[in-house]
Amino acid sequence: MTRFRDVLKNRSFLLLWLGQIVSNFGDRLNQMALIALVYKKAPGSAVELAKLLFFVVIPVFIIGPIAGVYIDRWDRKKVMIISDVLRGVLVLFIPIFILSTENFIPIYILTFLVFSITRFFLPSKMAIIPDIVPKDMLLIANTLSDTTRMVATFIAFGVAGIIVDKIGAINGFYIDAISFFISALFISNIVTKRVIVHFKEDILKAKDAFKNAIRKSVWSEIKEGIRFIVGHKEMKFVVKTFFILMAGIGSVSCVLIVFIQEVFGTVTKDLSVLIMFLGFGALIGAMFYARFGQNLRKDIAILKCMLSSGIFMFIFAVITKLTSYLWISSMTIFIWGISIGPIIVALNTMVHELIPQETRGRIFSSLEVVINLGFLLFMFAAAILAEHIEKIWILVFCGILLSLWGIFGGIAKQRKGV
């Protein structure tokens, strides 16, 4: 049985993994600093947070489909290095605008540009993993990769909140920029199995692909991705589950932050602690699944985890509102995290197993468009709704929906005999 240490002996994967840890930690500093700035501008407003996240997500629709065309023709390693360097430079400009103006528009524009470049980086990272590890190590490699993202998104997010509280938002942006440059250095030493097309031929193909992509609208690219997905039974399950999951995350993303701020009366301190416990839970859940779940059906494991994650989202919201005790909320959100961890690992592994190597970039980009549509729509809907009703009811309702998807998804598979 493949173990974590076996994959980490692969030097190229180790470098990719370390680079991801560094750059994602810097990203969390960036995001926590932005949350602090938004709170200073409009305390308790989920809508203002939604505006910021809009500029984070919208590049998925505008840039994602075109980026996928490039990724399938270009050296994915070079795409990742250039992306990291450009993002590092752009992040350095954010403190300049913070110090020179109170207008948030330049910050929104820089945020849009940074995450537009990320649309090239993330599909490249996902697509390059099968090029640097053997097929029998793919599940463990995905687990480590997804664990890294969860560590950066949750645990490092928690640490970032404390750091921003101590050193200030501006210094957080500087550290974020440095992290991108360090990540580029790690990735530059990766060796892949992928055969790269001759440079001149590569440029010509990319030029033609870009022209074709420009001729088509973003919505046309979305339709192409949907046509591929609906034509494959297992991919339909993956995208439906991703959509439901991202809709749930979108619904609670802004609302949860403001909910925690209101219950505990702090901006980032208690928020960082709770996200840290959520991250520890997700990490343990992902590692446990990778260690003992390799022989389990991925779709059944996903549905069971969706059921339990919905239940614990419900419990967390109710307990936090009724008690306002940080340690009780921390234990509850930790268990919630355990149920989340295996979902992303299993979904990404299913995608890798189903998509041919030569189309990974395009399909990953199209898939991101579909699933982030759920995130964006439900994020704004929940943020607007939170202006009129108690935020706890939104969290409770989302928990119920996730649980129902787990229940009825399992029933549907039993009826189909799959």
Cα(42)–Cα(19) distance, integer angstroms: 35
Residue 116 tokens, joined:
């537009």
Q: List, in order, residues 6 or more apart from 1 with CB less than 8 Å away.
A: 294
Domains of the chain and any CATH numbers = 4-416 (1.20.1250.20)
- What do you get for the CA distance between the two ends of the chain, in Å? 26
Provide the 3-class DSSP secondary structure of residue 58: coil
The amino acid present at 195, given as its one-letter code, is V
* Cα three-residue angle 62-129-199, rounded to 5 degrees: 70
Please report the pLDDT score of residue 10 as a whole number. 76
Task: Compute the distance between CA of residue 51 and CA of residue 243 in angstroms, rounded to an integer.
Answer: 21
**Which tokens in the block code for residue 64?**
């994602």
Express each pLDDT in 345-404 by its tens digit. 888 778 777 766 555 556 666 676 677 778 888 888 888 888 888 899 999 999 998 899
Spatial separation of the C-alpha atoms in residues 306 and 412, rounded to whole Å: 15
Amino acid at 50: A
* Pick from 337, 332, 282, 281: nearest CA to 309: 337
Residue 389: other Cβ atoms inside 10 A: 10
Query: Which regions of the chain are under pLDDT 70?
Result: 1-5, 64-66, 68-73, 143-144, 146-155, 192-232, 355-366, 368-369, 414-418
Does this model's pTM top 0.85? My answer is: no
Residues 204 and 217: their CA atoms lie apart, in Å, by 22
How far, in Å, CA of 247 to CA of 101, rounded?
34
Record the tokens describing residue 186, joined without a space. 């790690």
Conformational region of residue 324, where left means phi above 0, alpha means psi within -120 to 50, and beta covers everything else: left
What the block records as the tokens of 111 is: 């945020």
Per the CB < 8 A criterion, the answer to whether 288 and 137 are in contact is no
Q: What share of the chain is helix, strand, coil (3-state, %, to 5)?
A: 85, 0, 15
Give the model's pLDDT for residue 196: 45
Residue with tokens 């470098």: 15
Quickly list H helices, 265-297. 269-292
Q: Which residue type, as a one-letter code, is found at position 185?
A: L
How confident is the model at residue 307, as a pLDDT?
94
- The CA-atom distances, in angstroms, between 362 and each of 168, 191, 196 are 39, 22, 17
- Quick one: pLDDT at residue 198? 44
